[in-house]
A and B are shown apart, each in its own frame.
Chain A
Amino acid sequence: MEISGSALFVKALKEEGVDTVFAYPGGNNTDLLDELYKNPEIRVILPRHEQALIHEAEGYAEATNKPGVCLVTSGPGATNTVTGIADAHYDSVPLVIFTGQVSRPLIGNDAFQEVDIIGMTRQIVKFGSTVREREKLAERIKMAFHIANTGKKGPVILDIPKDVQTEMGASDYPKEIHMRSYRPPEGVHVGQLKKAFSLLQSAKKPLILSGHGVMMSGAEDILKAFAETMKIPVVTTILGNGAIPVGSPSFVGNAGMHGRYAANMAITHCDVLFSIGTRFNDRITGELSDFAKNAKIIHVDVDTASISRNVVVDIPVVADAKTALEKLQEWAKEPEGASLKELDDWRNTIASWEKEHPLSLSVKEGVDPKKVMEGIDEVFPDCIVTLDVGQHQMWATQFLPVKRERPVISSGGLGTMGFGFPAAIGAKAACPEKKVLAITGDGGFQMNMQEMATAVVSGLPVTVIILNNGYLGMVRQMQELFYDKRYEATSLCDEKGAYVPDFVKWAESYGVPALRVEEEKDIESALCKARESDGPFVIEFMIPSEINVLPMVKSGTPIDQMILE
């Protein structure tokens, strides 16, 4: 029996096990939406802006480890997704994005709401294609899901012209697909890994740098086992935070621009750096010529192109983090004798660095962000946390431990302000039984706060924690430190110093309860009220306007040269 392209689209989603679609309607995707209407088993969530739509799908994908599925219209619907797509590309978040397109005869005519979205997104997707033939639709959708969710995961975009959506054709959807041009790495080169293992074993001052790849492949347990057996300390990237639990004897903390003193010193002084699931982003390395200058470097990554791009490595290993760590753990044994002594000395050195300059925050008046994080730690021991981008994000990574029961979803590579709140809504759609907390700044929150309507109307109650300092704080901090306090375009207050908007009144207009906390003593009770609430909830913490995230490595300087106070 012949069916329409739109009917095939929905059939494909069902076969792929899709239960939720984030969709915004428009002139060129209404046929697809009409089929979704007829299939109520797939939930359609309507956001209030397409950028937020993509972040919601990202939150969903990160919370479930399944691709987030998006449907938008042509033209502005498509262009609004670009920031989100770039974000997903940077952080390897699997998404399948369907864009409506004008009918084939109109393509190239500058038709109403026509843009070449495939051309525009070519450098920020894993794969993108306009489906120009109805008979190729099934294969293309199968490819999209396969490519998005294998190897180094990422966003895939399929552009479907309106007349392909309505054209009748075969109803078959393939069970599997073989692509001659796409074979994600499987297994691991045992010889390379053996070399890496020997090097690690012979090291006097070994260090593991663990990134997002470890979390994405679910290798946290095996990493912990390996590091603890071999007595190797572990430092993490922002997105790798939580790869090793805070209580582990191998835990050191985050490295990089706002990392711990001990972590950055450990990278600078280690003799073997075993890096896994991270691409040596400049926020981690600082000045490249000084990065891990005393170390031989091993790099395990599923993406060949990430290896030896920023840092030239001694032993490259192309593999999924979990596959590599499982093999390594087979060989792991506890160090003894002289080697144990050397490792103990190394760990003591790192511990003394930590003692010398522990993470700290000095707040004289107003609410202390560190105390807010400690309060969240206590009141929300098990929940999903999403972060926006800025100072609050760094304080959260510094002072709120990531645990299995409390995963953190954050925008790493692209640093997309406006990510946190919609990502929380997406995570809530994925895990309705869990509490979801969006920790955000007053600047980033305003970039997508229209999504409160989505949270309310679609019944996706999340708690929003706003750390309000009245500034775009991260840039203000740079202006303070490197531009002699010339605060150009970073204040979010009016001429008289009053904050706009009033977030409490704003929340009330959505029927959402909100609290403003101006004193430390009220932190816990406010958080408890949010915990007890069944609906969305907003707490605005009034933090001091001019406090800094420290330590800080100035962009382009070596990571052991930190501004500490």
Chain B
Amino acid sequence: MAGKMKKRWIALYTENEVGVLSKVSGLFSAKSYNLNSLTVGTTEHPDISRMTISVESDDVTFEQIKKQFNSMVEIIKVIDLTNVPIHMKEVLFAKIKQIGPEEKAEVFRIAETFSVKPVDIGTDAIILESTLTERKNDELVSILRKSFKHIDVTRGGAVAVEGISTSCR
């Protein structure tokens, strides 16, 4: 009845005010919901923020999360992105360290395969920059972990916008 656990997406329009982010994120700890990622930025209106939130939940909990958001005084609009066409991207930096020439070549091959850019390079390190979907980034991280011992991964969390006639998630 509760449905199965899966990843779901919500976009929120909120008042751009002190404390709103804390109230939104606080809901997850207060109610024991699983938060995967949360990104926030302002919109074309400086007094309105937009958040993209990814959660792991069953159907019943997800309905409850949306209702809780809807009842928060500072939230202007709640959009369920789970089953609509969206374009989603996540910024990711991966620093691959302590590598020799052969491993460098391997980094470039991986970068080419995933269409990500090397943005910085030194004698024994490379930084890759990715703006793929979250899932593609997961795959990229997985292969980098398998191939190299010393990596630092910095991820920004996903940002999503409703699609017009195509979808990319």
Contacts and interface: CB of A to CB of B under 8 A. Distances in A.
Interface string B74-106: 111000000000000000000000000000000
B19 A129 contact: yes
B1 A312 contact: yes
B13 to A, nearest CB: 8
Contact of B71 (A132, A304, A308): A304
A130 B20 CA distance: 12
Given A181-B14, A307-B67, A309-B64, A119 B22 contact: yes
A304 B67 contact: yes
Contact of A130 (B1, B15, B18): B18
Interface string A494-537: 00000000000000000000000000000000000000000000
B39 interface: no
A311 to B, nearest CB: 11
B60 A308 contact: yes
A305 B61 CA distance: 11
A309 B2 CA distance: 11
A283 interface: no
Contact of B19 (A119, A179, A182): A119
Contacts of B67: 304-305, 307, 309
B30 interface: yes
B37 interface: no
Contacts of A137: none
A317 to B, nearest CB: 14
Contacts of A312: 1, 60
B22 A308 contact: no
A305 B19 contact: no
B70 A304 contact: yes
Contacts, number: 46
A303 interface: yes
Contact of A308 (B15, B63, B73): B63
A162 interface: no
B91 to A, nearest CB: 29
B7 interface: no
Contacts of B15: 181
B150 interface: no
Interface residues of B, number: 22
B73 A181 contact: yes
B30 to A, nearest CB: 5
A435 interface: no
B70 A123 contact: no
A178 interface: no
Contacts of A456: none
A118 B19 contact: yes
A219 B157 CA distance: 48
The bracket for how many chain A residues form the interface is: 20 to 34
A305 B22 contact: no
A52 B17 CA distance: 32
A304 B67 CA distance: 6
Contacts of B163: none
Contact of A181 (B22, B23, B68, B76): B76
B155 to A, nearest CB: 27
Contacts of B18: 130, 132
Interface string B15-38: 101110011001100100000000
A126 interface: yes
A127 B73 contact: yes
Contact of B26 (A123, A129, A303): A123
B14 to A, nearest CB: 7
Contacts of B26: 122-123
A132 B67 CA distance: 30
Contact of A122 (B14, B23, B64, B71): B23
B70 A182 contact: no
Interface string A95-134: 0000000000000000000000011001100111110100
Nearest to B31: A123
B19 A181 contact: no
Contact of B30 (A123, A127, A307): A123
Contacts of A130: 18
A122 B60 contact: no
B71 A305 contact: yes
A180 interface: yes
A179 B74 CA distance: 9
B71 to A, nearest CB: 5
A128 B23 CA distance: 10
A29 B68 CA distance: 34
A181 B75 contact: yes
Contacts of B1: 312
Nearest to A156: B73
Given A122-B23, A305-B64, A308-B64, A180 B73 contact: no
Interface string A132-176: 100000000000000100001000000000000000000000000
A161 to B, nearest CB: 13
A307 B71 CA distance: 12
Interface string A292-305: 00000000000111
11 contacts: A122-B23, A123-B26, A127-B73, A132-B18, A147-B73, A180-B76, A181-B73, A304-B67, A305-B64, A305-B67, A312-B1
The 10 A-B residue pairs whose C-beta atoms are closest, nearest first, are A305-B67, A181-B76, A127-B73, A305-B71, A304-B67, A182-B73, A123-B30, A305-B68, A122-B23, A180-B76
